[in-house]
Amino acid sequence: MGEPKEFMIKKTSRKKSRSVAAFLGYRRPSGPPGARNHLAAVSVMDNTNPLVRRIGSLRRDVLALNTTFGRNLMADDETQHFRVMGHLAGHPNVGAALIVGLEPESAAKMAETAAKASPWMPIEIVTVQESGGTLKTTDRALEAAARLSDHLASARRVECPLGEITLGAECGGSDTTSGLVSNPVTGMLADRFVARGGAVIFSETLEIVGAEHLLARRAGDAKTRRRLLAGVRRALDYAAGAGVDLIGCNPTADNIKGGISSIEEKSLGAVKKGGSGPINEVVGVGERPSRRGTIFADALCGGVENLTSLSASGAQAIIFSTGIGNPIGHPVSPTIHVTGNPRTAARMAENIDLDLSAVISGGMGFEEAADRLEAELIDVLSGKPTCAEALGETEITVSRAGLNL
């Protein structure tokens, strides 16, 4: 069966026989392994969100993936919407997908994107107009979900190399401890993954402003360097043209309360989560990288939009570094919240997967902290629910192609 929609909060530990550089995942007929084996019901556009929610409420083994917009989008907005939602449907953590649409043309378009991402995946489509209304569509969707569930019934976790993982790195609710502890430790883990042949994606273009020259030096080639710097320039030009003062909106009010004084200071801490190795490629929102190693995603927005972009780009798990605290995770890619702030670790314990605040107090070194984060990640990849999964604190938002500051 697929992963249950509701998780029991429990501790799991790695089996002693498992290789340190491996996790227990779902081996696919082709492509990367999954850390989850979801049966996903995917809404093509916002007007089918209620149907998808209903399907998820009637079948506990269905992961309901809703969206914003989707209807009558044009040009880059349309392309980006179908790329992101199609890549979520065809994600390695999804074992089968049910596409739910208003009419057959847009549903088929999303199914095609999912099939290109995961050619092995069983996919079915139901639409309101073809089915003849809400209740008939619900009946057909439940029948399709039962068939798809049968495809998942025989799946078992097997040992998979960590080098086949794409890891997302995100930060939010940042404070001074983010740049001192949780981001650098995330970056250390990123370097370990890259050394094993894995891929690490970090992003948020607005949060490299003031540190872009450091990343440009790490660009693996001239094309990557140009695209990285072009993304920063595009964001700054847009802000200037709109009369927006970046200092007034980034750092945010909670960042400032946490001791961050400027966007440059915030960026210098934020870029640490991407490790120290060469940046091999720059991708757009929800694009799948063509290379392994360290990848930068030119995705401007933070929070849920950025988590959605990282997941659509193929991240089987995401490390979420937080200082002051941010509970949100992604429904497809398990999101591990880590903090170096002792107050946050105590105050928001139900939302924090890993407390690294002993680095601040001097009771833990950086290598030990990276070891603990790696052990937590392997357990999560192997099936341990994150706090966000257990509490249902997950969400999807697809960024619009127009810049959002």
Q: Does residue 202 form part of some domain? A: yes
Percent of residues in the chain assigned helix, strand, coil, to nearest 5: 45, 15, 35
Q: Does residue 11 form part of some domain? A: no
- Same-domain check for residues 167 and 146: no
Q: What does the pLDDT read at residue 247?
A: 57
In angstroms, rounded to a whole number, what is the distance separating the alpha carbons of residues 394 and 24?
23
pTM of the complete model: 0.93
Does residue 9 have a pLDDT over 50? no
Q: What does the pLDDT read at residue 177?
A: 94
Q: How confident is the model at residue 237 (pLDDT cuts 50, 70, 90)?
A: confident
- Same-domain check for residues 149 and 253: no
Q: Does residue 224 form part of some domain? A: yes
Total of domains in the chain = 2
**Going edge to edge, which strands form the sheet with 123-127?**
62-65, 38-43, 94-101, 123-127
In angstroms, rounded to a whole number, what is the distance separating the alpha carbons of residues 156 and 26?
6
Q: 136, 154, 172 — which closes off a domain?
A: 154
* Domain membership of residue 56 as a residue range: 38-154
Q: Does residue 320 form part of some domain? A: yes
Does residue 405 have a pLDDT over 70? no
Q: How confident is the model at residue 144 (pLDDT cuts 50, 70, 90)?
A: very high
- Same-domain check for residues 142 and 167: no
Average pLDDT score over the chain: 92
**DSSP letter string, 231-287:** HHHHHHHHHHHTT--HHHHSS-HHHHHTT--SHHHHHHHHGGGG-SS-EEEEE-TTP
Q: Kindly report the CATH number assigned to the domain that includes residue 141.
A: 3.40.50
Q: What does the pLDDT read at residue 401?
A: 79
Q: 106, 129, 154 — which closes off a domain?
A: 154
Q: 138, 154, 170 — which closes off a domain?
A: 154
Give residue-wise pLDDT tens across range 42-91. 999 999 999 999 999 999 999 999 998 888 888 999 999 999 999 999 99
- Same-domain check for residues 186 and 254: yes
Q: Does residue 43 form part of some domain? A: yes
Q: Does residue 100 form part of some domain? A: yes
Q: How confident is the model at residue 146 (pLDDT cuts 50, 70, 90)?
A: very high
**Which residue matches tokens 């917009």?**
69
Residue percentage of the chain with pLDDT more than 90:
80
Q: What does the pLDDT read at residue 326?
A: 96
- Same-domain check for residues 134 and 240: no
Q: What does the pLDDT read at residue 95?
A: 98
Give residue-wise pLDDT tens across range 151-186. 999 999 999 999 999 999 999 999 999 999 999 999
Q: What does the pLDDT read at residue 19?
A: 54
Q: Does residue 184 form part of some domain? A: yes
